[in-house]
Each structure stands twice: as C-alpha cells, then as structure tokens.
Structure 1
Amino acid sequence: MRVLITGAAGGVATLLRPRLRQAGRTLRLLDLAGPHADGDEVLNGSVTDPEVMAVACHDVDAVVHLGGHSRENSWAQTAEVNITGTQVVLDAARTAGVSRVILASSNHAVGFREVTEDLPADSTPRPDTFYGVSKAAIEALGSLYHSRFGMDVVCIRIGSCFERPPGVRGLATWLSPDDAGRLFEACLTFPSPGYRIIWGVSDNTRRIYSLAEAEALGYKSFDDAEKFADEITAAAPTGDAARYVGGPFTTTPLGIPN
C-alpha cells in the first residue's frame, strides 16, 4: 500500500509520519520543503501544481491531504493554496484512480457554533476566519468528488494536534499525537467509508465534540488532555472566546497571519 501525504514537512504530518509507517506500506511525502525521512519516497512541489500532483498521485492507494496554510492568512493566499490546492489534489487523485482521500479540516470550519456537549461532527459550517472558510470549502469539495466520482473521502475536523495541549482551550480541543495516529489509521483502513465528516480530538475530560462519528470508523482514543491541566497557568477564555467553538479566533482580525 502506498500513501501520499501532502504537507509532509508540517507539524501534524511530522507527528503522523512515524505513526503511519508499518510493514507493507510506503509513504510518499510531498511538501515545498522536502521532509527528510529514511525509507520514504520524497517529492518537492506545491499542491497547487497539477503536474506535480499528477506525479505524486501515480500508483497511490490513498492520499492524506495536510498541505496548505495552517493558520489565518490573506484571502488570496488562503483561496489559492487551501481551496484551489485541494481541488487540484482531489482531481489528480481522481485521474490517477486513487480511491480514498483524507482531508484535514478544522474546528474553525464551525468556529461560530456555540460551545455545547457532543457537538456533532457534521454540524453545518459556521467558520470563524478565512482559514475556517477554506476548511468548509474543502469539505464541500470532498463531498462533490465523492458524489460525482465515488471516491471515499473522510474530512477530519482537527482540534489541536500538538505534543501538549495549547492553553486552556486546548484541554477540550487536543488531539494527542498517538490518538492522531490511531484516527488516521482508522480512516485509511475502514472498508468503504463513503463521505464522512468526523472530529479529530482525543477523549478529553473537557471534550465538547462528539466522537461517535470517528468511533464508527473504528477509532478509539486512549489519551486525555486533562493530565496537563495543572501545567497550564493561562487564564480561562471569557466572553465570545468562551461562548464559541473557535475561541479567540472568533475575534481576531481577518486575513492577518497569526
């Protein structure tokens, strides 16, 4: 099995790569800055380049699409890289006969949803930033390519995937690296998932996100951000930052990198 990972030098991909390596699987890594990894196939290039993506998708069984701007940026940059880039990836995968694509969405696609227990993974978009709009758009593109061409597409609305939860909000949104490996593995191996939107979070004590949709694919979380709670000294969010899923991102200026 050959799996293409775009954005392979980025933070989430760097955590995932060692957790997705296994016997009988080849990882093909694509990034503008080629990641150095023994035993993997490495390509340099942009997800916005159809020729690069045609080469990258050749003889691939599945695509894990993590490439793109990972935080707020100008509308022009966000639209070009995150939205157009995802369409280029999906079309290259379709042309190459790749049957499964996993798209990295984000909690920011629903950032203006009010905080509530067990927020369904397929809640309709309420983005909090241009970045959030781009993630809502890639979910729509994934739906289109599934419905038109029969591709299996799983969109993962990732919370916060880091070694440790980033601040108080992260105690709810954290996806541990090990749980990320378990989640993406489930998405790669579950038989014929069709089109799905799932949350990418650990089973945190302060979790507000439904895990039912991810568990239906075979995901099981073993980690909880609460073990880091005593180490976090920052003040808890207040006002709209506490009211909405997107936290402080609901009040930051649009189009300014952060």
Structure 2
Amino acid sequence: MRVLITGAAGRIGTMMRTRLRADGRTLRLLDVTPLSAAEPGEDVELVTGSVTDPEVMASACQDADALIHLGGISRESTWAETLDVNINGTQVVLEAARDAGVPRVVLASSNHAAGFREIAEAGHDGVPADSPPRPDTFYGVSKAAMEALGSLYHSRFGMDVICVRIGSCFDRPPDLRGLSTWLSPDDAARLFEACLTSPSPGYRVIWGVSDNTRRVYSIAEAEALGYRPQDNAEKFADEFAGTPALTGDAARYLGGPFCTAPLGVPN
C-alpha cells in the first residue's frame, strides 16, 4: 500500500512519518521543503514540490492507494495566501487524486471551520462532528471550503473522503484551551490509521481530538470508523494551574480567542 502525505515536513507530517510506518506500506512524502533522507529500513519516497502545482501533484498521485492532505498554511494569514495555498491547493490535490484514481483521501480540516459554533451546543458526547461550518478566521474559511470540495469530489466521483477537524495536535497541550482541544500525536496516528483502513467510509466529517476529560467535541463519529483514543490532556492540567479562564466570546465559542483575533494577520 502506498500512502501519499502532503505537508510531510510540517509539524503533524513529521510526527506521522514515524507513526504511520507499517509492514507492506510505502509512505510517499511531499512538501515544498526538502525532506530528510530515508533512515535505514524506512520505506519512503520523497517528493519536493507544492500542492498548488498540478504537474507535481499529478506525478505524486500516480500509483497511490490513499492520500493524507496535510499540506497548506496552518495559521491565519492574508486572504490571498490562504486562497492560493489552502483553497486552490486543495482543489489541485483532489483533482490530481481523481485523475490518478486514488480511491481515498483524508483532508486535514480544523476546529476553526466551526469556530463560531457555541460550546453550549455540545450534547452528551460533545458538539457533533458534522455540525455545519461557522468559521472564525480566513484560515477557518479555507478549511470549510476544503470540506465542501471534499464533499463535491465524493459526490461527483465516488471517492472516499474523510475530513478531520483537528483540534490542536502537539506533543502536549499548548495552553489552557488545549486541555479541551488536544489531539496527542499517538492518537493522531490512531485516527489516521482508522481513516485509512475503515471500509467504504464514503464522505465523513469527524473531530480530531483525544478523549480529553474537558473535550467539547464528539468523538462518536471518529469511533464509528474504528478510532480508539488512548490519551487524555488532563494529565497536563497542573501545568496550567492559576491560568486565567477564558471569558466572553473566547469562552462562548469553539474557536476561543481566534474568534476575536484580527482577520488576515499572519500569526
């Protein structure tokens, strides 16, 4: 099995390079930044190029059995840059996958696609993963567009497309809000593995979070694909003792302080 991973030199891509290794699996790693050479025994293929380049993507998709699209701008940026890389780039990726006959695509969406959904919407298991988009930033808009493109390519061409609304994937929660949004690297690998192996998922939108004590996101939809999270951000809670709680809109909405941050200002 050959899995193409875009954005492989980024934070999540780097963490997945080792965690998604498996017998009989070749990882084809693509990024605009040159990648480190293969380690002994590592079955990887390295591609340098941009997700916005149709020729690069057409070549990278050849003979791929699945694609995990992590490439793009992972922060708030100008509208022009966000449009070019995150929205146009996603369409280039999906079109190349369609043309090459890649049957399954996993798209790295974000909680910011639904950042203006209220935390109060959370039911017993949390805010449903397929809640309609309510983006909180230009970045969030690009992820909502990504989900829409994924839906289109599934409906038009029958591709399996899973959109993962990632919370915050770091080695440890970055802040107090992260005790709710954290996706551990190991759970991220478990989630992507479920996305790759679940039989005939069709089109799905799921949250990408660990089973955190404070989570407000439903993981039922991801569990339906076979995801079994094993980590909980609560073990880091003491690190944030004394940190002031969020207030106002930052406490009201899923996007937290991103809901009031300046639009289009790179961070």
Scaled by the length of structure 2, what TM-score is found? 0.95
Deviations, residues 132-154 of structure 1 (Å, cap 9, x unaligned): 00000000000000000000000
Which SS does the other structure have where 1:210 is aligned? coil
Following superposition, the deviation at residue 16 of structure 1 comes to 1.2
Residue among 220, 228, 235 paired with 2:236: 228
Deviations 1:50-87 (A, max 9, x none): 00001100110000000000000000000000000000
AA in 2 matched with 1:114: E
Q: Name the SS of the counterpart of 1:140 in structure 2.
A: helix
CA distance in 2, matches of 1:218, 1:51: 35
Give matches, 1:1-258, under 5 Å: 1-38=1-38, 39=42, 40-116=44-120, 117=122, 118-233=126-241, 234-258=243-267
CA distance in 2 between partners of 1:240 and 1:167 (Å): 17
* Cα displacement (A) at 1:236: 1.8
Distance in structure 2 (CA, Å) of the matches to 1:179 and 1:37: 26
Residue ranges of structure 2 left out of the alignment (5+ in a row):
none
RMSD value, Cα:
0.7
Question: Secondary structure at the residue paired with 2:108?
Answer: strand
Q: How far, CA to CA, are the matches of 1:159 and 1:35 in structure 2?
A: 25
2:103 corresponds to which letter in structure 1? S
Count matched residues.
258
Cα deviations across residues 111-137 of structure 1 (Å, max 9, x unaligned)?
000113310000000000000000000
Q: Which runs of 5+ in 1 are unaligned?
A: none
For residues 135 and 52 of structure 1, the distance between their equivalents in structure 2, rounded to whole angstroms, comes to 22
Between 225-234 and 22-31, report the one with greater CA deviation.
Answer: 225-234
Q: How far 1:37 sits from its partner (Å)?
A: 4.3
Paired-residue identity, %: 74
Letter in 1 for 2:190: R
Q: Distance in 1 between matches of 2:244 and 2:32?
A: 37
Tell me the SS of whatever aligns to 1:164: coil
